Chains A and B, each alone.
Chain A
């Protein structure tokens, strides 16, 4: 019995050590750093809650936070609705279903650099294809990434294109768990396929909706790379997001304490969303047992 306990800890040890050093330790350090003023070169100076009061009075902080939330609002609903619709289509009686699924899923595994530079080319004002197509149908607009009002929606569209496959895969998995007998019974009662989809499938996939919602929200809150590559936060700061502001304050201006105070704020937001994810996962586990 004793030996079993020892073995248990020994097996866990390699992970436990790395976990302590590379997750727990930085987390604790992060909590401390937020109370210091530190530029990396001189001695850290304890300043109490000053970083936090600076943060709450910093209009740029609020702006970047809003841009982050705005990005979530622009992406998540579409990732839910389009993901669901495409999954239903792929799951219906069509030819080449598997080939189609593969192609819908593929963009998701491309790296952020490939996706964003390709879309940057599509959006290009003078010789990008999007402006050209729109011109052909009579819309003369070229300022996608250059205009503050369309830059964030343009980045959102790119992101939806990139990660939609993930929603589709989660929905397909959910759809496969629905027993076909439910649809057969509905067919006998005279339900058409529209009714079947929206009165049976939508409510039965409640848990999948919640999962997609939470996971895509978590992913969208972390937005950084798309902005970094496509606009650099411009035009005029219109797409600057929270992680980017933290990154700039920390790694460009070496305001380590201030950057870390904002990082803690971000941690609190993620923690709140994470609790929901937590409960979903635990519930899923108990269903399977």
Chain B
């Protein structure tokens, strides 16, 4: 069947409207304050004032580094913990296997908002408020990822494992040398998906980090914007800066991200 030019045009027009807020954000970030107040459509020249302002006046660089560190370490932790826990659930037959599976499954029923207060108090008692680990450790607990990877492990044919077992391989060897390489697509999907979720999280860093040096990028920018409500050019410049890394990340990993969404059918 031939591709339709008319249909392409319809989708294209709709898409233009759809991404207009982003185009407007980029254009406005180069406008002077006067050009925004007078509702000029385009800036008269590329004006980087807003960008230099936000770098000087806010902790945007520090927040970016905080977010990067927290997201990277948490994602690494999530993947390691997920691999270890998914293996017995998906592959090993032992007493209690079913129990652990249902225990993990029950975990996806607990919304963070329902336990945010007791969890905050727990972190306070552990001395983890305003600490990177106060975000990182709780982020590592993600039952949904385990169910996805366990399901994937389950689907791997037995021959791979048996060949290694005959050679006398241990469970640990089989997990990391046989299962993990075969499950790479699923693991890539959950890593990318976890990374984006942690990078964008708002509620939890808002609760745990009260020292502005420790803010993550979303919380830091929201707080900064809150105190400069009329400087929209600066706000848009901040948004462009904050979108850029996630845009690059998205371009590289979008296939894995989509797989993560459709396999789990989940959302934070």
Q: Is A169 within 8 A of B4, CB to CB?
A: no
B221 adjacent to A169 (CB under 8 Å): no
In the assembled complex, B146 has its CB within 8 A of some CB on chain A? yes
Closest A residue, CB atoms, query B25: A118
B108, B242, B254, B265: the one within 8 Å of A105 (CB): B254
Is B118's CB under 8 angstroms from A33's CB? yes
Query: Is A206 in the interface zone, CB < 8 Å from B?
Result: no
**A29 and B21 in contact (CB under 8 A), knowing A117-B221, A132-B39, A224-B203?**
no
Cβ–Cβ < 8 Å partners of B8 in chain A:
94-96
Q: Could you tell me the distance between the alpha carbons of A169 and B88 in the complex, rounded to whole angstroms? A: 31
Q: Is A25 among interface residues, defined by CB-CB distance under 8 A?
A: yes
Complex Cα gap A212–B82 (Å): 26
* Assembly CA distance A219 to B97 (angstroms): 31
| Docked CA distance A170–B246 (Å) | 21
A22: which of B1, B141, B207, B242 is its contact (CB, 8 Å)? B141
Task: Give the shortest distance, in Å, between A26 (CB) and chain B (any CB).
Answer: 4
Q: Interface range on chain A: under 10, 10 to 19, 20 to 34, or 35 or more?
A: 35 or more
Alpha-carbon distance between A116 and B5 when the two chains are bound, in angstroms: 35
Given contacts A18-B140, A18-B141, contact A263 B202 (CB under 8 A): no
Taken together as a complex, chains A and B put the C-alpha atoms of A15 and B82 apart, in Å, by 7
CA distance A173 to B257 in the complex (A): 13
Q: Of residues 103 to 124 in B, which have CB atoms within 8 Å of A's CB atoms?
A: 103-105, 107-111, 113-122
Give Cα A246–Cα B111 distance, bound, in whole angstroms.
Answer: 14
How far is it, in angstroms, between the C-alpha of A119 and the C-alpha of B232 when the chains are bound? 11
- Do B151 and A285 have beta carbons less than 8 Å apart? yes
Mask of A245-279 contacts with B, CB within 8 angstroms, 1/0: 01100110000100110011011001100110110
Known A-B contacts A9-B96, A12-B100, A18-B81; the reply to A113 vs B21 at CB < 8 A is no
Contact A11 B171 (CB under 8 A): yes
Contact of B113 among A25, A110, A166, A224 (CB under 8 A): A224
B243 A119 Cβ-Cβ under 8 A: no
- Does B10 sit at the interface, judged by CB under 8 A? yes
* A30: contacting residue among B12, B117, B199, B226, CB under 8 A: B117
24 A–B contact pairs at CB < 8 A?
A4-B171, A11-B87, A19-B141, A21-B122, A22-B119, A22-B122, A23-B141, A29-B122, A30-B117, A33-B117, A33-B118, A90-B11, A95-B3, A109-B250, A112-B200, A113-B242, A114-B221, A118-B236, A121-B24, A121-B235, A225-B203, A246-B117, A285-B151, A288-B151
